[in-house]
Amino acid sequence: MDDIVLQAMAKWPNVPACTGWLGLDARGQWWMRDDRSQACGAFSSGQPGAKGSMLSHEKLIAFIARNYLCTEEGAYAGQWYFQNGPQRVYVELEATPWVWRVRDDFTIEAHTGKECKPQRCVLDEHGCVYLETDLGFGLVHTLDMLLAADALERGLWVAQEMLRSELPQRFGYVRSPQKVQVAQA
């Protein structure tokens, strides 16, 4: 976490968190969701306009990546967020908390730029490939499916089959903190 974020948290310790305003899609892109976007439906609903506006400012994306974390305990366990200064901004996930890019040498990089080591491979009923790594659980980017297939054919990864609907509970992440927090209120 950035020092400036830690300083802001110390200075303003009781800033309320927000939900619904930031999303991560299945291709590792960040989306800002204003009131109009949220009124169109859930982030992962597929409704026109529901995703919001894709972020393209490189420094903002890098700032989010450096301050992207997960709650590990309590009622909010498994909810991913961006610590924006003193405010926690919970992230709506289209798929998983991480999106992996596979390099030609089969090393793995997260959508945040962090390198990681695969520990387990999962294949869902739709043919999507996921990896559990030392960073956590995520979806292999669609553009890297040929490399993923090659890794499977070479025996570098051995896929376990699981139902997509079971993945959040099995790997401890929440796709929609907004939905969960509204239900808990």
HSE at residue 158, side-chain half, CA atoms within 13 A, is: 1
Rounded to whole angstroms, the Cα distance separating 83 from 66 reads: 9
Q: What is the pLDDT of residue 185?
A: 62
Tens digits of residue pLDDT in 64-102? 999 999 998 887 899 999 999 899 999 999 999 999 999
DSSP state of 135: S
Which one of 3.10.540.10, 1.10.1240.10, 3.30.710.10, 3.40.50.1000 gives the CATH number of domain 3-95+171-184? 3.10.540.10
**What is the arithmetic mean of pLDDT over 137-155?**
97
Q: What is the dihedral of CA 131, 30, 111, 97, to 10 degrees?
A: -30
pLDDT tens sequence across 100-117:
999 999 999 999 999 999
Mean pLDDT of 120-144: 97
Boundaries of every domain in the chain: 3-95+171-184, 98-170
Contact 63, 134 (CB under 8 A): no
Buried b (16+ CB within 10 A) or exposed e, 130-147: bbbbebbbbbbbeebeeb
